[in-house]
Structure 1
């Protein structure tokens, strides 16, 4: 690359190209013209919600070959208007982190090792335990005959990584099941 000359001087380029305001191509360097965005090679873009807190900032998730390559704030989001906090901006690591567990692991009571389970087996185990706890701890009426229709064997502690819609549905599910001990980490 040759050194700076009078013809490369931005003020000269500004007047010779007709860019009188100095805000167009006259003031861009060759390096700036050669730079491409990180998202230029993306196959697809998906809109999502940041998983970290209950605010619900909008995200644009750029993928290439079914792998997340970039996460940016969604400028159309009325909540965050294209901005993300440091945790939200780093959520690409949540999908691509080398320590991410992608299989269902189960450790039996008093066992020292984890074993892999298929998803259907794990879900069936959870459902069986949920129904047993509801059935075994159900309180239909109190000692005076007043209706309670509740269970003390089920409690829920929601996480702040769930969005508002998920927390709403979880609250509805546990209330319908008769649980009264329902809390959320974002509120504590």
Structure 2
């Protein structure tokens, strides 16, 4: 690297000899910074989502490259957050890319001291069996006066504020169809 090359690469030299005497534009850009590209520009696609942390429902833009989330930012089209996210919402990429994220179903048997890995189909079958058993054992067809009830007191639902309106609507429909009458949400409590 010659002296002339070094001097021409120096921002003060570019500022004093070029069209940017205040050093606020081209003079402040190095060759390295000119090559920089925002990681969201290299994304294959962008999906809109809702922040999962609280009941506010801030809009998010999720950038995906090679089927992996590479960035999350606030959605400027969201009427709720207008492009802004709190620190937790801005860091929600760690939910999917965090090294400590659990990606396997773990099960601890009653009175067990260790966790065992289960495949998803086995775990889902276990859940279905337990829900149906609790529904059957808690079923009330009629009350003491003979009035029709057709409900179960054996299961209930407590939804979380991380669910959006559509998910809460479907959960309410599912539990009502199963006969559950205790359907509540954390955001209302």
Q: Please, what TM-score do these two structures have when normalized by structure 1?
A: 0.84
Alpha-carbon distance between aligned partners in 2 of 1:124 and 1:3, rounded to the nearest angstrom: 66
Instruction: Say which SS state the counterpart of residue 155 (structure 2) adopts.
Output: strand
In the alignment, the residues of structure 2 paired with residue 135 and residue 12 of structure 1 have an alpha-carbon distance, to the nearest angstrom, of 78
Aligned equivalent of 2:25, options 18, 24, 27: 27
Question: Once the 2 structures are TM-superposed, how far is the Cα of residue 33 of structure 1 from its aligned partner?
Answer: 4.6
Q: Mark the runs of 5 or more structure 1 residues left unpaired by the alignment.
A: 14-25
CA–CA distance in structure 2, aligned partners of residues 180 and 12 of structure 1: 69
* SS of equivalent to 2:39: coil
Question: 8 Å contact 2:73–2:90 — kept in the other structure?
Answer: yes
Q: 1:12 offset after TM fit, Å?
A: 7.5
Aligned CA distance change for structure 1 residues 69 and 145 (closer, same or farther; 3 Å): same
Is the CA contact (8 Å cut-off) linking 1:53 and 1:163 kept in structure 2? no
- State the match for 1:174 in structure 2: 175
The residue aligned with 1:153 is: 154
Instruction: Specify every segment of 5 or more residues in structure 2 that has no aligned partner in the other structure, as ranges.
Output: 1-8
Greater alpha carbon shift after TM alignment, 168-177 vs 1-10: 1-10
- Quickly say closer, same or farther: Cα 1:135–1:40, change in 2 above 3 A: same
Aligned position for 2:91: 90
Q: Over aligned residue pairs, what C-alpha RMSD do you find?
A: 2.1
Q: Which whole-Å CA distance do the structure 2 matches of 1:12 and 1:44 have between them?
A: 38
The answer on 1:4 being equivalent to 2:12 is: yes
* Cα separation, 2, equivalents of 1:174 and 1:71: 33
